Amino acid sequence: MPPDPHGGDLFAGERWVEPLGPGAALLGGFALDRADALIAQIHALSAVSPFRHMETRSGRMSAALTNCGAMGWVSDRSGYRYTPHDPLTGAPWPALPPLFARLAAEAAAALDFADFRPAACLVNRYAPGARLGLHQDRDEGDRIAPIVSVSLGLPATFLWGGLERGARVRRIPVRHGDVVVWGGPSRMVFHGVAPLRHGHHPATGGFRYNLTFRKPG
């Protein structure tokens, strides 16, 4: 088991890498040193483009969502797509903060994905019971560039499957400051998040936040 940098000062600042497949890994504690600044930025962004529960063809998403960057991911009963404007406000999505862009580029570079410049950042807010079913990220034209996923707040279980829906699913604990990167041969792996358990985190209270950086084009 890797050290736990989230449970006390003893391991503060520790990092580790857990390979998940070709072009994919859990970067334990990678964002821990800037987690407070990331959370403050989330609050600022959501004051401009508020969190909301998107609709899908199968129902309402349990995690609340907002976006920042040149493009934002949206969903309704007609399907999924990227758009430059927030349909709730009619205004462009907030710009991608430099702090976010640097973190995404550094995490991608750690797995040899050089010069990663995301155009979209999905910001999810998970309350207890919220989940994300197994799926592939198929709405992006570039299916080689990595996905960079940052966990903040309450711990969660990341579900990591295979390139086929019926593949065996690994249950991977992700904690405050952890980052998961997957691209290249692993870019189309099925993945998800198990229902969030009740808890309290000193930085986020009863919530988990997740930043998902993507390159739509």
Question: If you average pLDDT over residues 104-110, what whole number do you get?
Answer: 98
8-state DSSP, 33 = G
Count other C-beta atoms under 10 Å from residue 203's C-beta: 16
How does pLDDT run across 186-197, given as a tens digit for each residue? 999 999 999 999
How does pLDDT run across 31-47, given as a tens digit for each residue? 999 999 999 999 999 99
pLDDT of the residue at 184: 96
How does pLDDT run across 36-93, given as a tens digit for each residue? 999 999 999 999 999 999 988 778 999 999 999 999 999 887 788 999 999 999 999 9
Count other C-beta atoms under 10 Å from residue 175's C-beta: 20
Answer yes or no: are the C-beta atoms of 66 and 50 closer than 8 Å: yes
* Per-residue burial over 45-72, b = 16 or more CB atoms within 10 Å of its CB, e = otherwise: bbeebebbebeeeeeebbbbbbbbbbbb
Nearest to 80 by CA among 20, 46, 42, 120: 120
Which residues are registered as beta bridge partners of 123? 66, 211
The structural domains of the chain, ordered by start, are: 16-214 (2.60.120.590)
How does pLDDT run across 153-184, given as a tens digit for each residue? 999 999 999 999 999 999 999 999 999 999 99
13 confidence band (pLDDT: 50, 70, 90): low
∠ CA 133-149-202, nearest 5°, is 95
Nearest to 180 by CA among 146, 138, 208: 146
- pTM, two decimals, is 0.92
